[in-house]
Chain A
C-alpha cells in the first residue's frame, strides 16, 4: 500500500468528497444537483479504476483469422468488463435522478419564486405560523 500503487483511489476519493461537499454546503438547489452529478461520476471512476488491469486493453476481443472462423485471441490481457457494465447502469441512474431533480427545481421556482434552500425553509415557516394563528 504505497503512493505509487494507490494514488488513483485517493484522487477519486478526493473527487467524491468535492462533489459531496457541494451537495451539502451549497444552498442553491441547482448547484446541489451539480454537486450530486459530480459525486456520482466520481463513484463511476472508482469502479472503473478497480476494473483496470495494468497493460490490459479494452474488453473487446482482438480477433484472429478472417471472416467466419475468426477466434478471439485470449492471451491478450483484457481489463475486467464487469465494472464497465455496472457503470453503464450507474450513469443512466445518475442522469435519470438529475432530470427528475431539475423538474422539481422548476416547480419549486414557480411555486416559491426562489431556488435557495434557506429562503424556501423560511417561507415554509412563515406559512406555518400564518396557519397556526
Chain B
C-alpha cells in the first residue's frame, strides 16, 4: 500500500476517470451505482490522504507525469491549499452519489442511468484534475472535461427549461473557457513555458526588470484569465447562467455542483492572482484587488442575496444565494493578504458544506412534496419535521450564526477586513448577512407558521436525508471545533504566498 501512496496525486484523478468508461460498459443500474459510489469513496480517501501528506512537508508534493521532469513534462503539485480543496470536493461528490437514488431513477431514462453516473464521475475527475495540476494548459483541458459533463448533467433535469438553461450555460461556459485559453496562450508567448512554477518565476523576473512599466501582453493575459474564470465562477456581472443551471438541474446534480464546481474555479482564480502573476504585483502595482474585485464582490453579495428573497422556488433561491456567497469569496481574495486568502479558503469549505447540505434537503423535499415551490411547502414543519429542521440548520449556517461553519468563515473574513483597514467593508459584510436572514426566515415562516394542507400525503425518502444530515452535521462540528481547520487554512495561505523558486536546471539530453 505504501508504494501506491507515492502515486496518490495521479490516482486521485485516474480512479474516477477510468471508472467512468467501466460504467459505460456495465448496463445494470445497481452495479453501476455501487461501482460509482465505491470509486467516489476511494477518491475521498485518497483526497484526505493527500491532505495528511501535504501537511507533513513544507514545500508542495510534486509528481512528474510521464516520467519527465517539470518544465518538459506535466507536473502535479499538491500544496496544502489544493489538498484542502480536493478533500472537500471528493467528500461532497461521494455524498452526492448517496443522494442520487430514487430521484435519478425518475429523472434519467430507464436504460441510461449508468451513463449518468459515468458523466458524474467524469465531472468529479475534471474538477480534481483542475485543482491539483501544475501545468497551465492542463488546467484548460480538465476545465473542459468538468464543464462538458456539467452541461449534460444539468440537461438531465428533463424539463424543457433544463435544456435552455444548459444551453445558455454551455455558450457562456465555452466563451469563458476560450478566454482562459487566450490568457494561457498569451502567457505562454511571454514566458515560453507552461509549468506553473516556471511561469511564476519568469513573470517575477519580468516584473522586477521593469516594475513600473507593465508588459502589455502580460497585463492582457491576466485580464483574459480573470474574465474567463469570472465567467465560470459567476462573479456578479457575469452570473446570468448560474440561477438557471442550478435551479433546473436535478437536485442531486445541484447539490454536487453547488458544493464543488465554483469552489475549484475559485481556487484556480486564487492561484492565478497569487501564484501565476504574484500577489505583490497584482494587488500592489495593479491595485486589482481594491479597484476591481472589491466593488464587484460587494455588489454581488448584495444583489445575489436580495434577488434570493424574491424567488418563487427553493432551488432558485439557493442558486441566487450562491451568487451572493461567491461575492464573499471574491471579497476575501480582494484584500490581497494572507489573512484574506485564509478567510477565502475557510469560506470555501464552509459554503461548500452548507450549500450542498441545503440542496440535499431540497432533494428530500422534492421527493416528498413533489415540488420545491415555496407556496407548496406550507406546514412542512409538521409533515416532515426532520427535513424542516435540517433546512433551518442549513439556513442558519448560511447566515453565519455562531456554532456553525458559516460563523467561523465570516469571523475570519471580518478579521481580514480589519487587518487591512477596510472597516466599511466589514460593516457591509454584516449588513449582507442580515439580508441572508430575511430570505431564510421567509422559508422558515412558510414551513412552521402556516397550516399544512389537509389532503397532502408526503412520502419520506430517508435515504436522501443521510447525506444532508452528514453535511450539516459536519458544518456544525466545524463550527464548534474550528481550530484544526483554521490552522490548516492559515498554513495553506502562507504556502501560496511563498516566492516561486526557479526550477532545477533541465538535464541536457538523456532521459531525466
The answer to whether any beta carbons of A and B sit under 8 Å apart in the complex is yes
Q: Which residues of A contact B (CB under 8 A)?
A: 16, 20, 23, 29, 32, 36, 39-40, 43, 46-47, 50, 82-83, 86, 89-90, 93, 96-97, 100-101, 104-105, 107-108, 111-112, 120, 124, 127-128, 131-132
With A and B bound together, what is the CA distance between A101 and B164 in angstroms?
10
Q: Which residues of A contact B166 (CB under 8 A)?
A: 104
Supplied contacts A104-B155, A104-B167, 16 more A-B pairs, CB within 8 Å: A20-B175, A36-B171, A39-B178, A43-B178, A43-B181, A47-B185, A89-B140, A93-B141, A97-B170, A101-B170, A104-B163, A107-B163, A108-B164, A112-B160, A112-B163, A120-B164
Q: Which residues of A contact B373 (CB under 8 A)?
A: 131
Given contacts A86-B137, A107-B163, contact A43 B148 (CB under 8 A): no
Q: Which residues of B contact A16 (CB under 8 A)?
A: 182
A23–B171 CB distance below 8 A:
yes
Query: How far apart are B176's CB and chain A's nearest CB, in angstroms?
Result: 12
The one of B140, B151, B167, B312 that contacts A29, using a Cβ cutoff of 8 Å: B167
Q: Which residues of A contact B177 (CB under 8 A)?
A: 93
B151–A104 CB distance below 8 A:
yes
Nearest B residue (CB) for A44: B181
A111–B185 CB distance below 8 A:
no
In residues 142-163 of chain B, which contact A (Cβ within 8 Å)? 144, 148, 151-152, 155, 160-161, 163
B189 in the interface (beta carbon within 8 A):
yes
The one of B141, B144, B160, B178 that contacts A111, using a Cβ cutoff of 8 Å: B160
Q: Which 9 A-B pairs have the closest CB atoms?
A: A111-B160, A104-B167, A107-B163, A108-B163, A93-B144, A120-B164, A50-B189, A97-B174, A47-B185
Q: Which residues of B contact A40 (CB under 8 A)?
A: 174, 178
With A and B bound together, what is the CA distance between A104 and B173 in angstroms?
15
Nearest B residue (CB) for A90: B181
Nearest A residue (CB) for B371: A131
Between A39, A82, A93, the greatest number of chain B beta carbons within 10 A of the residue's beta carbon is seen for A93
Q: Which residues of A contact B164 (CB under 8 A)?
A: 108, 112, 120, 124
In residues 284-338 of chain B, which contact A (Cβ within 8 Å)? 312
Query: How far apart are B446's CB and chain A's nearest CB, in angstroms?
Result: 16
The one of B148, B181, B185, B189 that contacts A100, using a Cβ cutoff of 8 Å: B148
Query: How far apart are B24's CB and chain A's nearest CB, in angstroms?
Result: 16
With A and B bound together, what is the CA distance between A89 and B140 in angstroms?
10
Query: How far apart are A34's CB and chain B's nearest CB, in angstroms?
Result: 12
Query: How far apart are A5's CB and chain B's nearest CB, in angstroms?
Result: 14
A23–B141 CB distance below 8 A:
no
Q: Which residues of A contact B312 (CB under 8 A)?
A: 128, 131-132
Q: Which residues of A contact B152 (CB under 8 A)?
A: 100
Nearest B residue (CB) for A108: B163
Query: How far apart are A33's CB and chain B's nearest CB, in angstroms?
Result: 8
With A and B bound together, what is the CA distance between A120 and B188 in angstroms?
41
19 A-B Cβ contacts within 8 A? A23-B175, A32-B171, A36-B174, A40-B174, A43-B182, A43-B185, A50-B185, A50-B188, A82-B188, A86-B185, A89-B137, A96-B148, A97-B148, A100-B152, A104-B155, A108-B164, A112-B160, A124-B164, A132-B312
With A and B bound together, what is the CA distance between A111 and B161 in angstroms?
9
Instruction: Mark interface residues in B116-147 (1 if CB within 8 Å of A CB, else 0).
Output: 00000000000000000000010011001000
Q: Which residues of B contact A82 (CB under 8 A)?
A: 188, 194
With A and B bound together, what is the CA distance between A39 and B167 in angstroms?
17
Given contacts A29-B167, A40-B178, A97-B148, contact A108 B160 (CB under 8 A): yes
Query: How far apart are A15's CB and chain B's nearest CB, in angstroms?
Result: 13
Q: Which residues of B contact A101 (CB under 8 A)?
A: 167, 170-171, 174
With A and B bound together, what is the CA distance between A128 and B174 in angstroms?
28
With A and B bound together, what is the CA distance between A43 and B228 in angstroms?
14
A111–B163 CB distance below 8 A:
yes
Given contacts A29-B167, A89-B141, contact A124 B155 (CB under 8 A): no
Nearest A residue (CB) for B173: A97
Query: How far apart are A56's CB and chain B's nearest CB, in angstroms?
Result: 16
Q: Which residues of A contact B188 (CB under 8 A)?
A: 50, 82-83
B167–A108 CB distance below 8 A:
yes
B160–A100 CB distance below 8 A:
no
In residues 35-91 of chain B, which contact A (Cβ within 8 Å)? none
With A and B bound together, what is the CA distance between A100 and B150 in angstroms?
11
B141–A105 CB distance below 8 A:
no
The one of B144, B161, B178, B185 that contacts A124, using a Cβ cutoff of 8 Å: B161
With A and B bound together, what is the CA distance between A29 and B373 in angstroms?
30
Nearest B residue (CB) for A112: B160
With A and B bound together, what is the CA distance between A47 and B184 in angstroms?
10
Query: How far apart are A36's CB and chain B's nearest CB, in angstroms?
Result: 6
Nearest B residue (CB) for A123: B160
With A and B bound together, what is the CA distance between A90 and B373 in angstroms?
41
Between A16, A43, A90, the greatest number of chain B beta carbons within 10 A of the residue's beta carbon is seen for A90
With A and B bound together, what is the CA distance between A104 and B161 in angstroms?
11
Nearest A residue (CB) for B141: A89
Query: How far apart are A35's CB and chain B's nearest CB, in angstroms?
Result: 9
Nearest A residue (CB) for B147: A97
With A and B bound together, what is the CA distance between A97 and B150 in angstroms?
12
Query: How far apart are A91's CB and chain B's nearest CB, in angstroms?
Result: 12
Query: How far apart are A111's CB and chain B's nearest CB, in angstroms?
Result: 3
Query: How far apart are A21's CB and chain B's nearest CB, in angstroms?
Result: 12
Between A40, A97, A111, A127, the greatest number of chain B beta carbons within 10 A of the residue's beta carbon is seen for A97
Query: How far apart are B17's CB and chain A's nearest CB, in angstroms?
Result: 15
Given contacts A100-B151, A101-B167, contact A46 B182 (CB under 8 A): yes
